[in-house]
A and B are shown apart, each in its own frame.
Chain A
Amino acid sequence: MAGGERESGGFGVTGRVSIVGAGPGDAELMTLKALRLVQAADAIVHDALVSEEIKACFPARCQVFDVGKRAGDAASTPQAEINALLVRLARQGLHVVRLKGGDPFVFGRGGEEALHLAERRIPFEIVPGVSAMSAAAAGAGIPLTHRGLSNACTALNGFGPYLERIRWDALVGQGGTWVFYMAKRSVEAIVARLLAHGADPALGVAVVESASLPGQAVHARRLGEVARNPLPPLGAGPALVIVGPSVALLEDLNPMAGGLHADVRAVSGLSEAAR
C-alpha cells in the first residue's frame, strides 16, 4: 500500500501505535482493518477482554504483551505501566497494536493512552471496534433504539465505584435505553437505584453475559420483579446490563438469538420457539 511507505517515511525511526478495537470477542466481529493491522504488527499489547480466538490470529514472530485488566483483579497492569510500555515499544521503532476489547473510545480508556502518546509525539491512530453493547443487543435481540419505544441510548460505566457518579434522577428523566458496562457484580445495585429514583418497574432489564462468545447467556426480568425473582448468578464472562422499554421486545425476538450458524435441527427448533 502506498500509504504504508509514506507512513514509515514520514515518521523516520519512530514506531507507531495503532489503538485498535478488537470487538466483543467473536473473532469474526473484528474489522477487516483490525485483522490487517494485527497480522502486520511487530508487537501486540492486549487486554483480558481479547478472546483466545482472536489471539490465535496473532502472527508468530510478533511480541505479545498481556496487560489484562479485570475488575478488581490484583494481577492487572496499572494504566501508567501500559502507557510506558507503549511508548517504549514505539521508540524501538516498532509498529505496536494496542488491542482492546470492544471499542477503544467506549469505556476502553483509549483516550488516556492516545493522549499519553500524543504528548510524547508518538504517532498513533484509533481504529474503532464493535462495542460490547452492539454485540449484546444483537445477540439478545434487543434493539437499543426502536421507533415508538426508545429514541436514545445511554452507555454507562456499571462497575461498582462508578455508580456513585451517576446522576440517577437525570438518567431516569432521560428515558431511552440504558446500557451498563462492566456491570457483572452491580446488577442488583443498579436495579435498586433505578427503582429508587422513579424508574418504571415495568421496564425490562436484561443481563447479557459473554456477548458474541460461545457461552453467551441472556436473562431478563421486569425491574419490579427482580427483588422477588432475582437474576441467576453469572459465570466467568464479562456482562452488560440493558434496561429500557425495548427490552420487552425480547419475548418476541430472543428466540432468534440462536442464530443461523446453528444446524438444521436447532433452526427448526427456533422457528417453533418463535410462535
Chain B
Amino acid sequence: MDYLPIFMKLQGRACTVISGGAVARRKVELLLRAGARVSVVAPALEPVLAGWARAGVLEHRPAGFTPACLAAAAVVIAATDDRAVNRQAAQAAQHRGIPVNVVDDPAACTFIVPAIVDRSPIVVAVSSGGRAPVLARLLRARLEQVVSGGYGRLAELAGRFRSRIKARLRDPRARNRFWERVFQGPVAELALAGREREAGAALAVELEHAAGRAGIPGAVWLVGAGPGDAELLTLRAARLLQEADAIVYDRLVSRDILALARRDAERIDVGKSAGHATLTQAEINALLLRLARAGQRVVRLKGGDPFIFGRGGEEQEALAAAGIRCEVVPGITAAAGCAARLGIPLTHREHAHSVVLATGHPSPGGAAALPPVAPGQTLVVYMGMARLPALCTGLLAQGLSPDTPAALIQEGTTERERSAVGTLATLPALAALHAFRAPALLIVGDVVRFGCGREAGSERSAWTAPAGVAAGVPRGAPAEPAHLHVAPGYASLNDRVAPVAGMPPPAVSG
C-alpha cells in the first residue's frame, strides 16, 4: 500500500487552491462538499468559480502564488498549468507541514485525491496510487452501481437508531448480531427501496424482538459435519457455522470445514488425538453448559452424524437436564460418505436387505464388539482400525466365509483418502502392509464387489473413467483381487492397483 486512505474532517477549515481554471474548479467543489472554507489563489477565475466568488461561497485572492498565501491552510491543492509554480507551492506547503496535492504530479504530492462514490454518510474511495487514474474511475463507476443511493439512506437510518440500540442491547456481541441481521434483512430491503419510514418502523420492531430475546440463555446445536469433505456439509450446518459465537469441535472435523465458520467465532478443539491432552465427555458436557449459560450460540460440530457413534445423545441429555435449548442437525455418516466414494451400495435389492453399523471399539462392559451378522447383511464397522485383525478373525469365527469381500477406507472423502479392497482373509495383511491408520472404516459384505465408482484423476470427484469401467466391475465374480487406492494420483480404472509412494506394490491375486 503506497498511501494510507484516511477520511479528513475539513468542516469550517481553511483550504487553499492555487489556480482558477477548470481543473481547480473540480477540486474546489470537492472541498466545498466537505464543508471547507476555500481560498482560490489565481490572477483570474474561470466563470463558475468567479460566480461562486461573487456569491461569497469562496474567497478569491487575485494574485500570483507566494508562500504567504498558505498561512493557516489545512490543505493545499496546486492545479496551475505551470509545473514550476506547482512545485514551488508544494515545497512551501511541505516546509510548513501542510498536506499538499499537485494535480498530475504525484512526486510532488503528500496526499492524493481518490475517485469517490459519495452516498453520504457512506463514502467509498478508490485509488490507483497515481498509477492508473482512469482504471480507478472505471472501478468507481462499477461501485456506483453496487452501492446504490439506498445505502446512504440505510446508514443514515442506522445512525439515528445507534444510541437507542446501544442502550437496549448492552452486550456488544448481541449488538453485532443485531446489526448483521438488520443490514441483511427486511429493514435493509425497505431502506434500499426508498421506503424509509417503513424501514424505521421495522427496525424498531426488530429492536424490541432482540431486546426481548437478550435475557434468554444461549443454545447449543449438535451438528453433524459429515464424513470430511467440506462440500458434504449440509446447508444448515454451513449457515449455523456462520452464525455461531462458539464452535466446539472434534478431531474428525477438517480444517476446510472450520474455514467456513464465522471469522470471530471462538473455536475450541476437544478432539481426541493421540498424545494431546483431551477433554473427557463429562468435561465436554460441562464446557457446552458453561458456554450456553454465558448466552452464546454454540455449535457442537461432530464428524459424521451426531447420533451415529457421535455420542450426541449424551450431550443432548446433559443439556436437556440443565434446561438448555438444544437442536440436533443430522449429517452424512461416514458409512454413506465412504460407500459413495468406493461405489459400494450399502443396501441392494438382491444382495443386501439391510446394513448394520457397528463399532470396533470395545464397549465399556467389555461385551463382544461386533454383533452377529446374518447373510444378506452389509456390515460397516466404525473405529475398527486398531483391532482390524481381531475383528476379521471374529467374523470368520461367526461363520462368515474367508472369501467375503471387505473394503477398508481411511479418511474417506478427504484429500488424504486411501482405500483397499480384499476379503476377510486378506484385508488385515493388506492394511498392515500399506500402513493404514485410523480413522478408517471397514465395509464387509457381498455389495463390496459392486464397487465401481472410481477416480478419473480429480481428487474431489469420484467420476468413473469410461475406458476402464468394464474391468472395474467384477460383477458376480469372486472378489479375490486385492485393490488398493490412494487418492489423488491414480489415473484410470485399468490401473486399479496404484502403487503407494515408497511402498512395495500390493499383492494381487487372481
B486 located at the interface, meaning its Cβ lies under 8 Å from any Cβ of chain A in the complex: no
Tell which of B219, B339, B452, B456 touches A260, judged by Cβ atoms closer than 8 Å. Answer: B219
**Considering the chains assembled together, what is the distance between the CA atoms of A152 and B372 in angstroms?**
11
Of the four ranges (under 10, 10 to 19, 20 to 34, 35 or more), the interface on chain B belongs to 35 or more
Interface of A is mostly: mixed
Q: Which of A1-50 contact B (CB under 8 A)?
A: 3, 6-7, 10-11, 14, 16, 21, 23-24, 26-33, 35-36
Q: Which residues of the other chain, B, contact A36 by a CB distance below 8 angstroms?
A: 231
Contact with B along A106-137 (1 / 0, CB 8 A): 11011110110111011111111111001101
Residue B213 CB within 8 A of the other chain = yes
Q: How far, in angstroms, from A102 to B500 measured CA to CA in the complex?
A: 35
Complex Cα gap A125–B377 (Å): 24
Tell whether A105 pairs with B323 under 8 Å between CB atoms, given A130-B331, A141-B328: no
The chain B residue with its CB closest to the CB of A176 is B371
CB distance from A199 to the nearest CB of B (A): 14
Complex Cα distance A152/B239, Å?
A: 31
Complex alpha-carbon distance, A160 and B318, angstroms:
39
Q: Which residues of B contact A275 (CB under 8 A)?
A: 323
Task: Report yes or no: B325 in contact with A155, Cβ–Cβ below 8 A.
Answer: no
Residues of chain B lying within 8 A (CB to CB) of residue A104: 340, 345
Contacts of B363 in A (CB 8 A): 151
Stretch at the interface among A70-78, A162-170, A189-197, A213-221: A162-170
When the two chains form the complex, which single residue of A146, A153, A157 contacts B314, counting CB atoms closer than 8 Å? Answer: A146
Chain B residue at minimal CB-CB distance from A2: B458
B178 at the interface (CB under 8 A from A): no
* Selected contact of B332 from candidates A114, A128, A176, A259, CB within 8 Å: A128
Partner of A174, one of B221, B317, B371: B371
Residues of B within 8 A of A231 (CB): none
Distance of A6 Cα from B323 Cα, bound (Å) = 53
> Is A52 located at the chain interface by the 8 A CB criterion?
no
Asked whether B83 is an interface residue with its Cβ less than 8 Å from the other chain, the reply is no
Residues of chain A lying within 8 A (CB to CB) of residue B467: 121
Residues of A within 8 A of B98 (CB): none
Q: Mark A156-185, 1 if CB is under 8 A from B, else 0.
A: 110000100111001101111000000000
User: Can you list 29 pairs linking A and B with CB atoms under 8 Å apart?
Assistant: A3-B458, A7-B461, A31-B232, A32-B230, A33-B229, A105-B345, A106-B346, A111-B447, A112-B345, A112-B348, A115-B450, A124-B463, A126-B339, A130-B224, A130-B331, A134-B224, A134-B330, A137-B330, A152-B356, A153-B308, A154-B371, A155-B346, A155-B347, A165-B376, A170-B374, A173-B372, A212-B330, A252-B317, A270-B325
Minimum-distance CB pairs A-B, first 5: A111-B345, A143-B313, A134-B330, A121-B466, A138-B328
